Structure formats: C-alpha cells, structure tokens
Chain A
Amino acid sequence: MSQTAPSSATAPPYEARRAWRATEESLVGGVAAGLAHHLGVPVMWVRIAFLCATPVGGLGVVLYGALWMFLPARRPDEEEAPGLAAATRQGKRAGRQRRFADQGPLVAMAAVVVGVLALLSVVTGQVFVVWPLILAGGGLAVLWWQADEAQRERWRDTSSRVGPFGGIFGSGGWSGWVRLVVGVALLVGAIMLFTLRGASLSAARDVGMAALLGVVGLGLIVGPWLVRLSADLTQERAERIRSQERADVAAHLHDSVLQTLALIQRSADDPATVARLARAQERDLRSWLYDSAATDTGTFAAALREVAAEVEDGFGVPVEVVCVGDLPAGAPVRPLVLAAREAMVNAAKHAGVDKVDAYAEVSGSDVEVFVRDRGVGFDPAAIGADRHGVRDSIVDRMRRHGGEAVVRSTPGEGTEVRLRLPRPADVAEESS
C-alpha cells in the first residue's frame, strides 16, 4: 500500500494467506465461515465436517474451540475510505446484516449437536460424562462469544476510551453482562454436575463453591493487570488515531480544498472557471472520501479515469466513467486509453453537450471502451482527410495495435465511439 507501484510488472512480495474468523457471518464463532473462505469451499461443507467430526470423541467440538481461540477475528473494512468510515462511525450507514438476526440455522445446528450427543450417551450409557461436557462447552462458547462482541465493539467505536473492563465486557450494557454471567454459571454448573456423578449433593455444592471462588480469585489476581493493560491500550490507540488521521486530513485538505478555494477566490468573476474548479475539486474529494479503490494506481480503470479527469479539466465537460472489470498495472493497453482520450476530447470539444459517458468493460477476450455523447453528431462518411483526430488518433491507432474502432454518429442525435482491443495476456494476474 505505502510503496508506489512501479510501472513495470514486478511480482509483488509474497504474502502468506492467513486464515481468520469471519465474525460478520458467524453462526457461533465464525470459525467455519472463516475456514470456508480460506479453503475456498462452501461454508456448509465445513460446518458439516465439524459436525461429523463431533461424535468421534468430540473431535469436532475440540477442533472448533481450538480454532476459535487461535484464529484471529478478521477486522472488517480495514481499507474503508475515510468518508465511509466517518459515516459508519456516526451511524449514518446501515450496519452489517448480522447472521444472528436469523436464529433458524443456529437452533437447527444446536438441535443436531444435542441430538447426536444424546444418542451417544444412550448408546454408551454414560450420561454423566456427556452432559457436563455440553454444559462446559456451552459456557465457554458464550464467554468467547462475548469476547468477540467486545472486540467488534472496539473496532466499531474508535473514539471512546477503553475502560478497565471494557476490553472484556464491552460497553454493550446488560447483554454483555448476561452473557458473562451465563457463561460462568454454565461452567460452574458443569463442574458441579461432574462431581455429582459419584458423590453426594453437598459435595457437589462444595466443589461448585470452590469453582466459583476460584473464578473470583482469578479475577482479583488478573484484574489489576487488566486495568493497566487497557490503560496502555487506550493511550496508544488514541495517540495513533489522532496523529494519523489528523495528518491525513490536514494534508489532503491543504493539497486540494484550500488550493481550490484560493483559486476560486482569484477567479471569482469568471463563472466558467469557477464551475470547472468546483467540479474538479468535487470529483477529487468524492473519490478520496468514498472510493476505496481510488488508491489503486496504474490499473486500466485508473488510467481511464485519469484521462477522463484531464478532459474534464481541460474542456469543462463532465465525463462520467463506468468501469466493469479491470486489468492490473502494466497491462499494455495504453493505445486504447489514448484513443479513448481522443474520443472524449472530440466529444467535449465538438458535440456541444454538458456530459460525456464513458464505459469500459474488460471481458474474457476483449477490452472495450465506449465513449458516447448526445450532441450534434456528424456524418462519419464526410470526415475530411485533413481531420486527423478521428482517423489518426482513433481508428488507425487502434488498428495498429490489433484492435478496432467504430465511430457511429447521426447528425442531431450524438456520437458513439466504440474501441475494442484483444485482452492482453495477463501480467501478474495474482497482483492484488
């Protein structure tokens, strides 16, 4: 990200693919969904695999639990554009659809798990081993789930302080506490149930009390350490966010908005210039705020947007660019981009319109660009031999590079230039 992309096709440094938990589409902990993404298989297969492995001495559950502990949760929207991130923070965008809104699959899944375990207990006759395990597993799942929630909350809300207990409980109010209490209760219950197997009720109660005391004691021991840790975390985070974001925003505002405002003031008596400046500034700010892909440089789509922006600035006519698909940096499509630029210039200069549409599509076999206006149009057959624009810059250029250009125009209805180039063999297909 930080390094500028060289124009030649150098292989990007190898980066190991890492698995993560997809907490955004989780049923329980997002382990299966994350694995499915990592392995490239349907998530249902992974879920079924976990289920099938469960009767084998609880392998599935153990595996799931272990992965839950060790796989990092994927941080969502790491590369969100600043404007979108701000809108998200201010609650102006719809939150992600939580899978939990639909409880059906979870309930079905739980029913299956319980059913399998019950069957197991009936077959082996060891009722008392199985139920404590279920209880303990459920308790752990609830506890970890809460940790996930708290983590997600921290991601979402970058402004507030992380309190001493915020790291664990989040500020989610009662639901966080309920989850915590239920989790601990399930665990303690499991231990009690396990001891109840051979001994009396009072013994079980004693063991339960001991377990509870253990939890409390652990909390007291670890507590101060947690407080210090969270204080450090808060400070570090606040500092990082403040310095980074302020620097970013300041730099960008200075580079763009301030300069434009100064220019606008200077040319206040020239409406055309003011409009052009405002339009250019708007385009720039918009792409900075909302277009996460705008940071890509050198790709085919970026190059096309760049020439469109040039034309826009040069002739004061907005050029609307829509790209479907893209080619990585270094693809030999420069002739196509230049021909498209020429077509845009023609449209802006001669058509007498207030808007030009450009559409680019990269398909499996071709790269196509369409430049269209609804302007005065002309008769293509009547282009004079002295008109170099269309013939040299567009038609001949495309032909020289193995492509073709078709100019369709009807006087009074507008012009459309279609450019087509065979898709170049992919350069560095894996570059992302």
Chain B
Amino acid sequence: MTRHTVVIVDDHAMFRAGVRAELGEAVAVVGEAADVDAAVAAVVEHQPEVVLLDVHLPGGGGAEVMRRTTGKAGGTRFLALSVSDAAEDVIGTIRAGARGYVTKTITGPELVVAIDRVASGDAVFSPRLAGFVLDAFAGTIEVAQVDEDLDRLTEREREVMRLIARGYSYKEVASELFISIKTVETHMSSVLRKLQLSSRHELTRWASDRRLL
C-alpha cells in the first residue's frame, strides 16, 4: 500500500508536531499550514490526498479553507480534526465538505485508519459525530419510505449510526447487522451525503436549539 500524502493544518505548531510524530511513517506529511491563506496555498500546491483540518483557524475557520480550494484540488479530501465538540462546528464543518470529523484526543493508529478511510472516499464518523447526526435527524420515520428523501435517515442508516455511536468499529457493525463492511460504508456515505445536502431547516437551527430538546 502506498503511503497517503497528507497536509496538516492547525494553528498550534506544537499540535502539528505532535500529529506528525504520531503519524510517523504511516503517511507522508507533505506540508503544514497555520492559517487559512497558508492552508489554501499548501493544498493547491501539494494536492494532497487528505488534509487534516483544524476547525478553528485564523482567517475564517476550516470551512473557509474548503470553500476556497473548491475545484482547485480535485482529489483532495478533508478530515476535520478539532478540540471543539460544539455541535455547530461539527455539523458546519461536515456541511462545508469534510468527509469526517474526529476529535484531537484520537490516538495515532486510529488517526491513520481514519486517514486511510477518508483517502479511499469513505466517511469517518466518530461516536460523537454519530450522536450529533442521530440528534439532528431525530424523530424520523418508522419505516424507510424513500431513499431519495434527504431530510430523513432510513431505518437501516439509523441502526448503523446507533452502533457507531455505541463505539462499534465498521467491522463490528457489519457483523452485528449481518451485512458486509462495504454495505456499512455505503450507508455511512449516504448519511454523510444527507448531512451535507439536506435542506432541512431544522438541521441548521438544530444546533442552536439543542438546549430545548
């Protein structure tokens, strides 16, 4: 397996060094950046497979980096990495185009797996993100009616999300539901797509109204 090329974007030099050290030889870190402008330049220049993107970034945040590199780095995928567990940030980053969201407490090996997954086009959901998704799409339909409905999760997708939220790995989800890992990945991508494309009014309101659940 060839090593994935990665750009690390974070405004704390110490954290970048830490991630670099944790990743070790598992990936090829081709660049680093500390703010939005530098990040955009680095992404466009290096065309990495994966960008580890801090959510809070001087110059408008990680979402701004994704907005400004749209169309300039075709093969690049973004994995958000943040210390903030705020729901607005998580959902906002995903909707801006990130393929996944993990918190900075993630271990080195887990991060490598996540990078691998994102590089191959799949979605990465931490248990926390899965919880947010379930929250945001709460009160959905009992039976799966139409797959095309972007505002709802199908029953199967909900099941997968619940297992992820319970701390299951993709493999464990697959064996629990008697489906293949590929199918799990398909469900995850579909949830990600709904999260990004849903025009659901509640989804944008949801985060700020969370206290009223």
Contacts and interface: CB of A to CB of B under 8 A. Distances in A.
B135 A325 contact: yes
Contacts of A416: 166
Nearest to B57: A92
Main secondary structure of the interface of B (DSSP, over half): loop
A94 B166 contact: no
Given A87-B56, A322-B128, A372-B166, A94 B85 contact: no
Interface stretch (B19-27, B146-154, B188-196, B204-212): B204-212
Interface stretch (A59-67, A76-84, A254-262, A392-400): A76-84
Given A87-B56, A94-B64, A359-B166, A324 B86 contact: no
Nearest to B88: A84
26 contacts: A77-B208, A84-B89, A87-B84, A91-B58, A92-B11, A93-B55, A93-B56, A94-B60, A94-B62, A94-B64, A94-B92, A94-B96, A286-B83, A286-B85, A290-B83, A291-B85, A292-B210, A292-B211, A320-B127, A325-B135, A357-B166, A357-B167, A359-B127, A359-B166, A361-B165, A432-B212
B1 interface: no
Given A94-B92, A322-B130, A361 B84 contact: no
Nearest to A93: B61
A95 B60 contact: yes
Contacts of B128: 320, 322
Interface in A286-301: 286, 289-293, 296
Contact of A322 (B55, B58, B131, B208): B131
B138 interface: yes
A361 B83 contact: no
A84 B167 CA distance: 27
A432 B83 contact: no
A410 to B, nearest CB: 11
A20 interface: no
B44 interface: no
A92 B58 contact: yes
B162 interface: yes
Give the one of B96, B130, B168 with max A CB within 10 A: B168
A370 interface: yes
A359 B131 CA distance: 8
B83 to A, nearest CB: 7
A185 interface: no
Contacts of B211: 79, 292-293, 296, 432
Contacts of B165: 322, 324, 359, 361
Given A92-B58, A289-B84, A357-B166, 19 more contacts: A83-B84, A84-B88, A84-B89, A92-B57, A93-B56, A94-B62, A94-B92, A94-B96, A292-B210, A292-B211, A296-B211, A320-B127, A322-B130, A324-B135, A325-B135, A325-B213, A361-B162, A370-B166, A372-B167
Contacts of B134: 324, 361
A387 B186 CA distance: 43
Interface of A: 77, 79, 81, 83-84, 87, 90-95, 282, 286, 289-293, 296, 318, 320, 322-326, 357, 359, 361, 370, 372, 374, 416, 432
B14 to A, nearest CB: 15
Nearest to B134: A324
Given A79-B211, A361-B162, A84 B86 contact: yes
A325 B131 CA distance: 9
A83 B138 CA distance: 27
A293 B209 CA distance: 10
B59 interface: yes
Nearest to A97: B204
A374 B167 CA distance: 9
B43 interface: no
B86 A81 contact: yes
A91 B84 contact: no
Contacts of B86: 81, 84, 290-292
Contacts of A293: 210-211
A91 B59 contact: yes
Contacts of B208: 77
Contacts of B127: 320, 322, 357, 359
A291 to B, nearest CB: 6
Given A324-B135, A359-B131, A290 B166 contact: no
Contacts of A322: 127-128, 130-131, 165
A92 B11 CA distance: 9
Contacts of B131: 322-324, 359
Contacts of B212: 432
B39 interface: no
A416 B162 CA distance: 14
Contacts of A282: 105
Interface string B161-180: 01001111000000000000
B50 interface: no
Contacts of B168: 372
Contacts of A286: 83, 85
B167 A320 contact: yes
Interface string B87-119: 011001000100000000100000000000000
Nearest to B54: A92
Nearest to A282: B105
Contacts of B213: 325-326
B33 to A, nearest CB: 14
A368 B189 CA distance: 26
B29 interface: no
Nearest to B207: A292
B63 interface: yes
Contacts of B57: 92
